[in-house]
Amino acid sequence: MERFGDWILTLAAAGVMIWWVWRRFNRWLHEPPGAKLRRLAVAGGVDRDETVELIENYGYQVLSGKHRIPLGVAIDDGPTQATRLYFDYLAAKDDKYYLVKLDRARQPLEWTASGLRERLLVYALLFPDCEGILVVDSRDGLVKTVRFKVEDDE
């Protein structure tokens, strides 16, 4: 960098990078709650079937369906292994969002506090802006809402 123009280009590039990082941080900081869910709602399409009709009969609007969330798992300092987490639909009712999981015959849901915690808590933690998780039993025509609440240990 012997010439004066090199310094100007370097400072301009550094300025653009700082501006870009600041802008991304500011956008992230002021992002409204539920923005991630709204992006999911417009990302996926909905195939009309009897499950969607059942959910809509309970007063929910099905926004999108069949979502896959990629995750990475590393043990100690080992390589990261890829896995994924699935949920079936995203629904809304009264401007509140709900994740939808289907209760399938091959993996029945255990309707105890510990069974629900083991199977559904991860969704509540990944999407804290959701009002709850709808569990749809197509065989019996039922839609149940599961909510988690952290309680004081008193």
pLDDT at 51: 86
Positions in the chain whose pLDDT score sits under 70: 1-2, 30-46, 153-154
Burial-class residue 90 by CB neighbours within 10 Å (0-12, 13-18, 19+): buried
Name the CA radius of gyration of the chain, rounded. 22
* Helix or strand run (H / E) with residue 65: strand 61-73
- pLDDT (0 to 100) of residue 126: 84
Give pLDDT, residue 104. 84
- Closest to 44 in 3D by CA, of 93, 89, 96: 89
Digit-coded pLDDT (tens) for 69-81: 888 999 998 999 9
- What is the amino acid identity at position 71? L
Give the angle 129-56-95 at the CA atoms, nearest 5°. Answer: 30
Which helix (H) or strand (E) segment holds residue 42: the answer is: helix 35-43
Q: What is the mean pLDDT of the chain?
A: 84
What pLDDT is recorded for position 1? 52
At 14 the pLDDT is 93
DSSP notation for 81-117: EEEEEEEEEEEEETTEEEEEEE--SSSPPP-SHHHHH
Query: How far are the Cα atoms of 63, 76, 80, 112, 127 from residue 96, in angstroms, in the given order?
Result: 12, 39, 35, 25, 12
